[in-house]
Homo-oligomer: A and B are copies of this chain.
Amino acid sequence: MPRAGLNPDAVVDHALALIDEEGPDALTLAAVAARAGVAAPSLYKHVPGGLAGLRRLIAVRVTTDLAQELRRAIAGKHGEPAVTALMRAYHSYAMAHPQRYAALPQAPLPGDEQLMDAATLLVGTIFEVLADYGIGESEAVHAARSVRAIAHGFASLSIAGAFRLSEDLTETQDRLLTLLTDGLRSWPGAKSA
C-alpha cells in the first residue's frame, strides 16, 4: 500500500474540511481517516493524542487563522477605525467559517503552550488596537474583555441562528459598533480624541 504522504498539517486540513461540510460533531477519526485515504489507526502516527490531540491542533490552527485575519484587517489603521475594522473582521471570519468558529474553544487548556501562544496573539491584537486610546494598564484589561465579549457574543449568536427576526444583521452590527466605540471613547482613563 503506497504511502499517503500525510503529516499533521494535512490531517488538520482534512479535519477542517470535514467540519466545514458536516459540522463539529461529524469530526471522528474514522471520517478523517476515510478522507485521508487511510485506516483510522494510522492517524495515530501523525497526530499525537488521538482525537483530543486532533481537536487541539485544530484549535491552534483556527485561532491563529482568526488572529492573523484580524491583524490583516487592522493593518495601518488606528483608534476607532481600527476597532471597527477588527470587530467587522471578527464577525466576517465567524460567518465565513461558522462550523470552525463554533468548534473553537474560547480558552486553552492549562499547559497547552501552542494554543496559549495563538490565544495570546489574538488577545494581543485587541490590546494593540486599544493602545491608541491611551487607557491605563488595568482598565485596558477590562476594555479588552469587553471587546472580546461583544465580538464573541455577537458571532456566537449569529452562527447559532439565535437572531431569527427579519431585521438586518448588519444593522445590528452597526448599532453594536456604535455602542462599543462610544463606550471606549468615554472609557475611564481614555484620552479624548
A187 at the interface (CB under 8 A from B): yes
Contact: A179 with B180, CB < 8 Å?
yes
A178 to B172, CA, bound (A): 19
What would 18 more interface pairs be, CB under 8 Å, given A106-B160, A106-B162, A152-B153? Answer: A106-B156, A106-B157, A107-B160, A141-B165, A142-B167, A142-B175, A143-B175, A145-B154, A146-B179, A148-B153, A148-B162, A149-B150, A149-B154, A150-B150, A156-B156, A175-B187, A178-B183, A179-B180
What 0/1 pattern do residues 151 to 193 of A give for CB contact below 8 A with B? 1111011001111110100011001101110110011100000
A138 B167 Cβ-Cβ under 8 A = yes
Q: How large is the interface on A (under 10, 10 to 19, 20 to 34, 35 or more residues)?
A: 35 or more
List residues of chain B with CB within 8 A of the CB of A23.
Answer: none
Binding site for B on A (CB under 8 A): 105-107, 138-139, 141-143, 145-146, 148-154, 156-157, 160-165, 167, 171-172, 175-176, 178-180, 182-183, 186-188
Picked from B107, B153, B157, B164, the residue with its CB within 8 Å of the CB of A161 is B107
**Residues of B close to A157: CB separation below 8 A:** 106-107, 145, 148-149, 152
Q: Which 10 A-B pairs have the closest CB atoms?
A: A153-B153, A179-B183, A149-B153, A106-B160, A149-B154, A107-B162, A107-B161, A141-B167, A107-B160, A152-B153
Q: Which residues of B contact A154 (CB under 8 A)?
A: 145, 149, 153
A164 touches B107 (CB 8 A): yes
Can you sample 18 A-B contacts with CB below 8 Å? A106-B156, A106-B160, A106-B162, A107-B157, A107-B160, A138-B167, A141-B165, A142-B175, A145-B154, A146-B176, A148-B162, A149-B154, A151-B153, A152-B156, A178-B183, A179-B180, A182-B182, A182-B186
